[in-house]
Structure 1
Amino acid sequence: MYRKIENPPTPIEKFELPFEGQLAEDNRWVIMANFIPWSEFEDEYAQQFRIEMGAPAKSFRTAIRALIIKERLGLSDRETVEQIRENPYLQYFIGLNKYSNEAPFEASMLVHFRQRIDIELVNRMNQSMVKNSREEESEEANEKKLLFLEEKKKLNEERNQGKLKLDATCIPADIKYPTDLGLLNEAREQTEEIIDILYEELDDNENKKPRTYRNTARKEYLDVAKKRRPSKKQRRKAVKKQLGYLKRNLAHIDRLIAVGAKLEWLSSQKYKILLVVNQVYRQQLFMYENSLSRVDDRIVSLTQPHVRPIVRGKAGSSVEFGAKLSASCYEEYVFLDRISWDNFNESDDLKEQVEAFKAATGYYPESVHVDQIYRNKENRKWCKERGIRISGPALGRPAKNISTETKKQAQLDERDRNCIEGKFGEAKRRYSLARLMTKLSNTSETAIAITFLVMNLGALLRRIIMTFFCIYFRKYCIYPVFRFG
C-alpha cells in the first residue's frame, strides 16, 4: 500500500532537534533537497502499489533520496542506513519531520528501492532537474539584462548555440576474470550441490547416490589452473574433461527428476543457476567442437548471466565485462542516453543525442565534439544539413598544408571533448562506477543512472557556491586585483 504525501516538505526552521538550535540553511543537503523534483514523479512511483492492501510503503521522496545519499557518500547499504540514523541533515534530506535515533528503514530496503525505481524514471528526473535549473538561471539573467523571454527565444531559434560532447564507456561488473576452464569448473560444482539437495530430499534408499567424481574433477582442474602459462593443448584437454563431468552431472539430475525428485525443492537461486548452467554447457560445447573462442550472448558469470564481454581495445584491458553506455554532456551536465549489456556502435546514437539536446534547450548545438568512431559520412552529412560543426579532421587523405587556425581549432575541440572524459573519470574514481557491485540487471541500471543524477546535483551545488562567492567578493572586497607576469 502507498500513501501519497499531501503535506509540503517540512520547512527547515520547523525541523525538530533533540537539542537547542536549528539546521543551517547553507548546508549542502538542505540546498540539494530543493533541486530534486520528486513530486513530479510520485504518482508514477505510487502505481506500483495497491491503494488499500498491504503495509504502507516508504515514500518516493525517501526512496530516491536514500539512493542519492548512498551514491553521493560512496557507502554500502548498511552504512547508508547508519549514516542517516546518526545525521540530522540526512534525516531532513529524506523527508523526516524531526530527528530520530532509530533507523528509518532496514538496509535491505535499498534493494527494493532500486528495483522499484527504474532507469527511465531516474533519467527523466535528471533531465527535469537540469531543465528547471537552466530556466531559473535564464530568468535571472534576463532580469539583469532587461531582455524579454520572447525576444531571446526568437534569437535562439535563429542560430545554433552551445557545445555538445558525446562518448561511450564500459562499466565493469563485480565478477572475477572469466575463463572457459574456470567457468566450467564452477558450473560443475554447482551441479554437484544440486545433486546433493535433490538426493537428500528424495529419501530413496533403493537407488544409490549418483557418482560425480568431484575429487578427481577438482584435481584435474587445479593441475591446469595452477600453471603459470599452460599451453593451448593443455587448456583444451582440461576443458574437454570438465565438459564430460558436467554432462554426466546434468544427466544425473535428469534421472533424479525421473524417479521422483522435484525442482521445487531447489531455492529460486539454485533453480536459476541450473538454467544458466545448461546454457553454459551448450555454449562451451559448441565452441569446443568448432574450435571457436566466441559465441553469441556468451555467459561469463553464473550469478550474473546478463553480463557480456565488451571489446573496447583499451591499453589497460582490451576486453571489459559489464554494461556499455552512451552519454552526452553540455554545460557541465551529463546525461545517460543509452545502456546495454551487449556491445553496440555508439556512432548510431549521435542523431538521437543531438535531437535530445534540441528538445532540452530549444536549439541545435553549434558544434558536436566526438572521437573518431562518430565521424562517419552519414553523421557528417546529417550534421552539415543542420548547420552543426562536427569536430575532427575531414575524411579522406590528410591535407598537406594545414593552416594555423585549423590546428588551433582542433586543439580547442580536443580540450572541449575532455569534459566528458573527465565526467567518466569522476563517475569511476569519485563514485561507484569503477566496479558495479549490484548483482541484478535492473538494479545495476538504476545504480548507474543514480550516479549521473548525483553528478548533476554536484554540478548544481558548485554553481550555487560559485554564485555565492562572486556576490561576496563583489560586495566586500574593496582592494583591486593585480596581475603579475
Structure 2
Amino acid sequence: MYRKEQKQDKPPENFELPFGGKLAADNRWVIMANMIPWSEFEAEYAEIFSASMGAPAKTFRMALGALIIKEKLGASDRETVEQIRENPYLQYFIGMSAYSNEPPFDPSMLVHFRERIDMNLVNKMNQEMVKKVLETKEEEQVKSKKSETEASKSEATNRGKLILDASCAPADISYPTDLGLLNQARKQTEIIIDRLYNSLTEKKFNKPRTYRKRARKDYLAVAKKRKVNFNERRKAIKKQLQYIKRNCSHIQQLIDSGASLINLSNRQYKMLLVVSEVYRQQLWLYENKKRSIEDRIVSLSQPHIRPIVRGKARTEVEFGAKFSASCFDGYVFLDHISWDNFNESGDLKTQVEAYKNYTGYYPESVHVDKIYRTRENRAWCQERGIRISGPPLGRPPKNVSPDTKKQARDDELIRNSIEGKFGQGKRRFSLGRVMAKLPHTSLTAIAITFLVMNLSTLLLRLFCQFLCQFFKTTSFFAALINKTNVLMNFRKQKIIFTPA
C-alpha cells in the first residue's frame, strides 16, 4: 500500500531540528532536492503498490533519494543508512520533515528500492530535470538578446552539438576462465547431490560417489601453475567435464529414486539449470575446438552477464552491460543498454531523433568515432542538414587546407567531453564496477549513475554562476577582471598586426 505524504515537500526553513536553528538554503543537498521533480513521477511509482492492501510503503522521494545518496557518496547500503541517520540535510533530502536519530529504514530496503524503481523511470526524471534547466537558460538568453538576433535564431533549423559514444559497465565478477567456471559448476552439482540424497525417506542404496577430492586436486594441479600450455588446459577441462557428467547422471538417478526437486531451494534449482547450460556450452566448445559461442555464460551467480569485446588497450574484453549514451551541453543521457553485445552505429538515427523530440530541432553537428561513420548514417545525416564529424569517405586529398585540419581537431576536442563523462562515471561513481547482482537492479544502478552525474554538473554550474556574480559585484575583483580583459585585447591586437 502506498500513501502520499504532503509533508515531504516542506521548505528547508520548516525542517524541525531538536537543537534549534534552520537548515541552510545554500547547502548542496537542499539545492539538489529542489532540482529533482519528485512529485511529477510519484504517481507512476505508486502504481506498483496496492491501494488498500499491505503495509504502507516508503515514499518515492525516500526511495530514490536514498539511492542518489548512496551513488553520490560512493558508500555501501549500511553506510548510506548511517550517513542519513547522522546528517539532517540528508534526512531533508529524502523527504523527512524533522530530524530523527533513528534510522529511517533497514539497509536491506535499498535492495527493494532498486527493484521497485525502474530504469525507464530514472531516465525520464533525468531528462525532465535537465529540460527544465535548459528551458530557463533559453528564456534568459532570449530576454538578454535583441529582437534581430532572436529572429535569426528562430530561422535556424539545426542547433547544438550532439556527441554519441558507447561503453561498457563491468559487473563485479572475477575474470572468468573455462576451467574455473567448470570447477564452480562441479561444486554446485555436489551440493545438489547432497541435498537430494538427504531428502530421501528410504535410502535403498549408498550415497553416489562424486570423487570431489580427486576433482579438486586435478583442478588445482593446473590452476596453480603460472604458465599452462594448450594441451594441459584442454586435458584439465576434459576431466572437469567428465566429473560434471557423472554428477548430472547421479542427480537424475536420485530423481528417479524418489527425490523431488521441490526439496531444492529456488537458488539451488536455478543453479542446476545454469550448470546444465554451462556444461552444454563448454562441451560444445571442447568438441568443436572453438573459443566463442552465442549467449555464453561467464558467471554462475549472474548468468545474464555476457562478454563484451571492446578492443581497448587495458582490457580487450569486458564483462557487463553495454550501453550507448548521448551528450550535449555538458549533460549525458542513457539511450540504449543491453547485456548482449550490439553495434552502436545502429543507434545513431534513434539518438538523433530523440534529440529532436527533446529539443525541438535537429543538431547542427554530430560528433562520433569511426564506427558510427557508415555510408547509411552519413546519407541520413546529410538529408537533414546535419554535419557528421570525421574525414569524408574515399582517398584522402594530398593537400589538406588548414581550415579542414582545424575543424577535424575541434571535432575531436568536442568528442572528448563524452569520454570525460565516462571517466567520471567509472572513477568517481560506480559505473566502473556495478555491485548489484540482479539484471534489473543493475540497470537501475547504471541509470542512477547518469542521473547523479547530471546533478553534479548542475550543482557545479550553479556554484560557478555564484562565483562569477560575486567577482563582478566586488570592486577589487571587478577592477582586476577589467585589467585582464584590456591586457588580453592588447595582446590579440599585437599578434594580429605583427608582420610575418
- What band does the TM-score fall into relative to the shorter chain? over 0.9
Matched, 1:185 2:183: yes
Matched, 1:318 2:342: no
**2:29 corresponding residue in structure 1:** 29
Matched, 1:473 2:460: no
Matches of 1:6 and 1:73, distance apart in 2: 28
Deviation at 1:159, TM superposition (A): 2.5
Matched, 1:119 2:110: no
Q: Which amino acid aligns with 2:409?
A: Q
SS of 2:35's equivalent? coil
Gaps of 5+ in 1: none
Residues 181 and 366 of structure 1, relative CA distance in 2, 3 Å threshold: same
Q: Which amino acid aligns with 2:240?
A: Q
Give the structure-1-normalised TM-score: 0.97
Matches of 2:221 and 2:151, distance apart in 1: 72
Deviation at 1:156, TM superposition (A): 3.9
Matches of 2:155 and 2:51, distance apart in 1: 46
SS of 1:355's equivalent? helix
Q: Which has the higher contact order (CA 8 A, sep 6+)?
A: 1
Deviation at 1:140, TM superposition (A): 2.5
SS of 2:271's equivalent? helix
- 1:119·1:446 contact (CA, 8 Å) conserved in 2? yes
Matches of 2:2 and 2:154, distance apart in 1: 44
Deviations 1:136-182 (A, max 9, x none): 1222333333669xx95984463311111100001111111111111
**1:309 corresponding residue in structure 2:** 307
Matches of 2:366 and 2:204, distance apart in 1: 74
Farther-moved stretch of structure 1 (37-46 vs 195-204) = 195-204
- 1:380·1:390 contact (CA, 8 Å) conserved in 2? yes
Gaps of 5+ in 2: 492-500
SS of 1:433's equivalent? helix
Matched, 1:356 2:357: no
Matches of 1:142 and 1:449, distance apart in 2: 33
Matches of 1:207 and 1:157, distance apart in 2: 87
Matches of 2:324 and 2:77, distance apart in 1: 27
Matches of 1:37 and 1:174, distance apart in 2: 32
Matched, 1:132 2:132: yes
SS of 2:431's equivalent? coil
SS of 2:199's equivalent? helix
Q: Which amino acid aligns with 1:308?
A: R
Farther-moved stretch of structure 1 (365-374 vs 470-479) = 470-479
- 2:8·2:97 contact (CA, 8 Å) conserved in 1? no
Matches of 1:157 and 1:239, distance apart in 2: 67
Deviations 1:193-226 (A, max 9, x none): 1111111122433221010000011111111111
Matches of 2:309 and 2:447, distance apart in 1: 22
SS of 2:432's equivalent? coil
Deviation at 1:7, TM superposition (A): 4.7
Matches of 1:20 and 1:470, distance apart in 2: 33
SS of 2:61's equivalent? helix
Give the structure-2-normalised TM-score: 0.94
SS of 1:480's equivalent? helix
SS of 2:414's equivalent? helix
Matches of 1:335 and 1:44, distance apart in 2: 21
**1:20 corresponding residue in structure 2:** 20
Matches of 2:363 and 2:97, distance apart in 1: 44
Q: CA RMSD in A?
A: 1.5
**2:42 corresponding residue in structure 1:** 42
Q: Which amino acid aligns with 2:285?
A: M
Residue 405 (structure 1) aligned to one of 403, 406, 426: 403
Deviation at 1:463, TM superposition (A): 1.6
**1:173 corresponding residue in structure 2:** 171
Matches of 1:57 and 1:469, distance apart in 2: 42
**1:224 corresponding residue in structure 2:** 222
Matches of 2:373 and 2:341, distance apart in 1: 19
Matches of 1:396 and 1:444, distance apart in 2: 43
Q: Which amino acid aligns with 2:182?
A: L
Q: Which amino acid aligns with 1:162?
A: G
Matched, 1:243 2:241: yes
Matches of 1:282 and 1:100, distance apart in 2: 55
Matches of 1:128 and 1:263, distance apart in 2: 48
SS of 1:323's equivalent? strand
Report sequence identity in percent.
65
Q: Which amino acid aligns with 1:479?
A: A
- 1:311·1:320 contact (CA, 8 Å) conserved in 2? yes
Matches of 2:155 and 2:3, distance apart in 1: 44
Q: Which amino acid aligns with 1:320?
A: E
Residues 153 and 364 of structure 1, relative CA distance in 2, 3 Å threshold: farther
Q: Which amino acid aligns with 1:114?
A: R
- 1:37·1:125 contact (CA, 8 Å) conserved in 2? yes
**1:452 corresponding residue in structure 2:** 450
Q: Give 1:61-210 correspondences, 5 Å limit.
A: 61-145=61-145, 155-156=153-154, 158-210=156-208
SS of 1:276's equivalent? helix
**1:213 corresponding residue in structure 2:** 211
Matches of 2:263 and 2:145, distance apart in 1: 73
Q: Which amino acid aligns with 2:393?
A: L
Q: Which amino acid aligns with 2:3?
A: R
Residues 414 and 192 of structure 1, relative CA distance in 2, 3 Å threshold: same
Q: Which amino acid aligns with 1:10?
A: K
Q: Which amino acid aligns with 1:127?
A: Q
Matches of 1:13 and 1:143, distance apart in 2: 32
Deviations 1:412-460 (A, max 9, x none): 0000000000000000000011111111110000000000000001111
Matches of 2:79 and 2:11, distance apart in 1: 27
Residues 158 and 319 of structure 1, relative CA distance in 2, 3 Å threshold: same
SS of 1:170's equivalent? strand
Q: Which amino acid aligns with 2:87?
A: N
Deviations 1:339-361 (A, max 9, x none): 01111000100011111111111
SS of 1:289's equivalent? helix
Residues 218 and 157 of structure 1, relative CA distance in 2, 3 Å threshold: farther
Matched, 1:299 2:274: no
Matches of 1:384 and 1:189, distance apart in 2: 58
Residues 460 and 312 of structure 1, relative CA distance in 2, 3 Å threshold: same
- 1:10·1:97 contact (CA, 8 Å) conserved in 2? yes
- 1:68·1:450 contact (CA, 8 Å) conserved in 2? yes
**2:265 corresponding residue in structure 1:** 267
Q: Which amino acid aligns with 2:217?
A: K
Matches of 1:98 and 1:429, distance apart in 2: 35
Deviation at 1:480, TM superposition (A): 3.1
Number of paired residues?
483
Matches of 2:190 and 2:118, distance apart in 1: 36
- 1:12·1:25 contact (CA, 8 Å) conserved in 2? yes
Deviations 1:352-382 (A, max 9, x none): 1111111111111111111000111011111
Matches of 1:307 and 1:359, distance apart in 2: 32
Deviations 1:24-71 (A, max 9, x none): 000000000011112111111111111111100001111111110000
SS of 1:51's equivalent? coil
**2:9 corresponding residue in structure 1:** 9
Matches of 1:321 and 1:156, distance apart in 2: 46
Matches of 1:230 and 1:145, distance apart in 2: 70
